[in-house]
Structure 1
Amino acid sequence: MTGTSITAPADPLISGDDQHLRILTTTDLAGIDISLSDVVATVEGAYRTLHAGRSDNPRKLTVKPPDGHSVSYAMLGRDGSRDVVAIKTSYKHGLDKGRADQHYYTALTLYDDVTGLPVAMMDCARIGSLRTPAVSALLARACAAPGARSALVIGTGTQGRLALPFLLTTLPELDRLMLSGTHPEGIAAVRERLHAHFPDRDVEIVTDLRAAAADADVVVATAGAHTPAAVEADWLRPGALSVLVGHGLAPSTLHRADRVIATSEAQMHITGTDMADADGQLPAVDAEFPSVLAGASAGRRSAQERIFAYNSGLVVTDIALGHRFAQLALAQGLGTEVPLWQ
């Protein structure tokens, strides 16, 4: 499906000095106002620069103990349009417990590759909470069937709460919005975020997941690992696009898809092992998303294809959006200078 690209605002280079590091906390970043279209444009620009060969996005490093109670990632990258180098770290503890008992920490450190000076270190939680649904929305714009009008979001956690506003940003013609969730506070948060960005729109809470999936042109699965939700391939209508962010899709949606798109095939083989078949195998990816966005590969070849899209975060998108937030934060005088190297 085609849509209008949004042009990202130009980012002037920003950097500090060789003795101090500016720290941007959760509170600092929470106070920054940024539009959904700005986020989408920034993320799209990062993908296009990567496809053009001007950015570097090496495979992420992963550490996970044998019992699976935690997982850690380290991601290094370079944004060629901003001349920024960065490293992102992510650590989640309590994967064997409920959401309330889990701990999650993620940080992004940016360096100006022109001056060689540090830009900022920041909490990366808000960056990820915006970047990921923006990618899903771009996938929907590029891969949904022509005339798509209905969307189903599975899950009401961090990634589920902005999924619908971002989908409406890239596919404003959607007229039926459905949500499958079990946590009342999460459902309320989804409604609040939707009304904040689109006051005249509401979401339909569904309890029959199979029926809802059959009615959806776009399915975005964002649920946590303990969800009982698992949409099967034969529940999906012809032409449906299913986007996997977290959980909520059964492996059949991948293995029986007519076309498979991934933000990164290498990343899918690291973080998508729960979608493997009985032999532990994942199917080949037909196209990577940066190539689709750039027009070098087809997102969809026919209106009837059932397409599976794997949304795994690429650090170049974190770098681009993190740099955008750092630019806005510095303009507002936010953050704390720490004499780290004195």
Structure 2
Amino acid sequence: MTDSATTSATTGGSTGDDTTLRVLSTSDLAGLEISLADVIATVEGAYRTLHAGASDNPRKLTVTPEDGHSVSYAMLGRDGSRDVVAVKTSYKHGLDKGRAEQHYYTTLTLYDDVSGLPVAMMDCARVGSLRTPAVSALLARECVAPGARSALVIGTGTQGRLALPFLLTALPQFDRLLLAGSHPAGIAAVRQELRAHFPDREVELVTDLRTAAGDADVILATAGGHTRAAVEAGWLRPGALTILVGHGLAPSTLHRADRIVATSEAQMRVTGTDMADAAGRLPAVDTELPAVIAGITAGRRSPRERIFAYNSGLVVTDIALGHRFAQLAIAEGRGERVSLWR
């Protein structure tokens, strides 16, 4: 392996038997300890390796029925720093229903490209729940205006609950934390998650979205598809950074932005079609996050420009973080071996 911080995926975990597969369940992964800083560093490393040309991240495949009640993704990639190949699948059903009636399944299968042996198949939900806010934190770190201190999170689902802890890990100077949400349980969960990581910080619940958006230096839109929240470009202060993770921003924030940054322009054109204009068009991206992290381009060019950032998942970040989890799980003897190829 070329990553000195990462031992071989088979160390302590493989028996040299290519007929079995280690399966790591939701509960196997839930108890593993990993710091937010570790997650951010792992994701950042994956971007650096990708930009260096050592990793492969082909465009994702998407399938959805005409009525839009479900969506499926398949992503194949290779992490060159770990010599790991992986396939991620994602299937969500019930997009036309409430959150409680929806079904969501996502898996990640990892293979060691040195030994040729499978590493593990795992539930990818926790990987995704950590990877995505880590990417938002990196976007904020690279694109935030000088002197920024206030952040608004829209939505109280999984991504909304982790948005502020990750943001504060990357930008600890933020001292005004705003939240726009309507679900009492979700609001309580956001506050609980923040206290768990930053017990000295408090979040302020807002009811006037327009005023809150105008007060915020950074807006993280993490709401689900049924949200009525839609921040308009005209509400934003000079220098504002908007980061789209789920929903909560109107298309004007993209089309009227002074600068557009995406994790991947190709991915944005697959998953960001709801932000298209009346003619079905999306504007060109000015730069991508891997190039910004590598220091090739700037995330921000001037203090007053309004920046729109699109956070879409790249499978190389799932591979890096999933492999990190697999190592931790294997070291603790977690998971079940299944005779899949016998």
Q: TM-score, normalised by structure 1?
A: 0.97
For 1:97 and 1:280, the matched residues in 2 are separated by 25
1:320 is the counterpart of 2:320: yes
| Cα-Cα RMSD | 0.8
How far off its partner does 1:52 sit? 0.3
Which runs of 5 or more residues in structure 2 are unaligned?
Answer: none
Task: Please give the residue correspondences for 1:256-335 in structure 2 after superposition, counting only pairs within 5 Å.
Answer: 256-335=256-335
1:61 is the counterpart of 2:83: no
Query: Does structure 2 conserve the Cα–Cα contact (< 8 Å) formed by 1:146 and 1:303?
Result: yes
For 1:151 and 1:34, the matched residues in 2 are separated by 25
The corresponding residue for 1:3 is: none
For 1:28 and 1:147, the matched residues in 2 are separated by 42
The corresponding residue for 1:151 is: 151
The one-letter amino acid of 2:235's match is W
Distance 1:238 1:213, change over 3 A: same
How far off its partner does 1:147 sit? 1.1
How far off its partner does 1:14 sit? 1.4
For 1:323 and 1:219, the matched residues in 2 are separated by 31
Per-residue displacement from partner, 1:112-135 (whole Å, max 9, x unpaired)? 000100000000000000000000
1:14 is the counterpart of 2:34: no
For 2:320 and 2:251, the matched residues in 1 are separated by 32
For 1:122 and 1:104, the matched residues in 2 are separated by 14
For 2:58 and 2:149, the matched residues in 1 are separated by 37
The corresponding residue for 1:126 is: 126
SS at match of 2:160: coil
The corresponding residue for 2:175 is: 175
How far off its partner does 1:9 sit? 7.5
Query: Does structure 2 conserve the Cα–Cα contact (< 8 Å) formed by 1:112 and 1:118?
Result: yes
SS at match of 1:91: strand
Query: Does structure 2 conserve the Cα–Cα contact (< 8 Å) formed by 1:59 and 1:75?
Result: yes
How far off its partner does 1:278 sit? 0.5
Which aligned runs of 4 or more in structure 1 are off by greater than 3 angstroms?
none
SS at match of 1:38: helix
For 1:181 and 1:268, the matched residues in 2 are separated by 25
Q: Paired residues, what number?
A: 335
For 2:116 and 2:142, the matched residues in 1 are separated by 37
For 1:256 and 1:73, the matched residues in 2 are separated by 30
SS at match of 1:95: coil
The corresponding residue for 1:209 is: 209
For 1:272 and 1:231, the matched residues in 2 are separated by 16
1:84 is the counterpart of 2:106: no
SS at match of 2:186: helix
The one-letter amino acid of 1:185's match is A
The one-letter amino acid of 1:10's match is A
For 1:9 and 1:164, the matched residues in 2 are separated by 30
How far off its partner does 1:341 sit? 1.2
Per-residue displacement from partner, 1:230-278 (whole Å, max 9, x unpaired)? 0000101000000000000000000000000000000000000000000
SS at match of 1:161: helix
The corresponding residue for 1:51 is: 51
How far off its partner does 1:304 sit? 0.3
For 1:278 and 1:63, the matched residues in 2 are separated by 23
Distance 1:9 1:148, change over 3 A: farther
Task: Select between 9-18 and 88-97 the one with higher mean Cα deviation.
Answer: 9-18
The one-letter amino acid of 2:79's match is D
For 2:294 and 2:234, the matched residues in 1 are separated by 31
SS at match of 1:308: strand
The one-letter amino acid of 1:320's match is A
SS at match of 1:159: helix
